[in-house]
Structure 1
């Protein structure tokens, strides 16, 4: 079982990811929204302790945390590539890749929130 504070912070971060997803789909103002998502992750998610997490759920939680961190770094790199892209085909490909990463992050959030159910 996941503590209530964990659920609250992950729901908040999931909402921020949904806003980022909308921006990626529209291709507008990505750096501002990504900075907000990254800041929320650093302030609310990284600081959460493992105390209160059910012993049986702890390995899955840690695995999801690792994947979130990895995917967030990949998203950051791909956003830089998107910003540098000039050709329309390249922009579309980078946009699709960024969207895929954001969707993965949302899925990881959902999986963690399901640990709390």
Structure 2
């Protein structure tokens, strides 16, 4: 398969996201730990995943299945990138919320974003495993 080398980076991303999910679902949330894990997650995405240009791989793809796989991964990467930025915003809002009801609403949005990111990462890993 053309993109096997991506597997390890996406597995690391997924591991960080699962740790982040564990933290945001905890009874007593620790915003310092959550922010730290988010930054690690963002770092993995930026330095390990986005550094490989899928455009360059398009030129090396010899089978139609490879091109389709690259398109799927590109689409999921775009969603991950977007959702990581949105998660950062939600974390900022969560940090600044003062009322219990607002904090609970923001926390639910953070949990939802993390779930979406886990789903995209699992989908890519599943695609790479084929």
Confirm or deny a common fold (TM above 0.5). Answer: yes
Contact 1:20 1:33 in 2 (8 A): yes
Contact 1:2 1:113 in 2 (8 A): no
Q: Distance in 2 between matches of 1:3 and 1:57?
A: 9
1:48 lines up with 2:58 in the alignment: no
Equivalent residue number for residue 13 of structure 2: 13
After TM superposition, what 4+ stretches of structure 1 lie above 3 angstroms from structure 2? none
Task: Provide TM-score, normalisation by structure 2.
Answer: 0.83
Can you give the 5+ residue segments of structure 2 that lack an aligned partner in the other structure?
none
Q: Distance in 2 between matches of 1:48 and 1:8?
A: 13
Equivalent residue number for residue 81 of structure 1: 93
State the 1:18 CA deviation. 0.4
1:103 to 103, 106, 115: 115
Can you give the 5+ residue segments of structure 1 that lack an aligned partner in the other structure?
none
RMSD: 1.5
Q: Distance in 2 between matches of 1:57 and 1:44?
A: 19
Task: Provide TM-score, normalisation by structure 1.
Answer: 0.92
Q: Deviations over 1:7-34 (max 9, x none)?
A: 1110111000000111111221211111
Equivalent residue number for residue 24 of structure 1: 24
State the 1:2 CA deviation. 5.1
Q: How many residues get paired?
A: 117
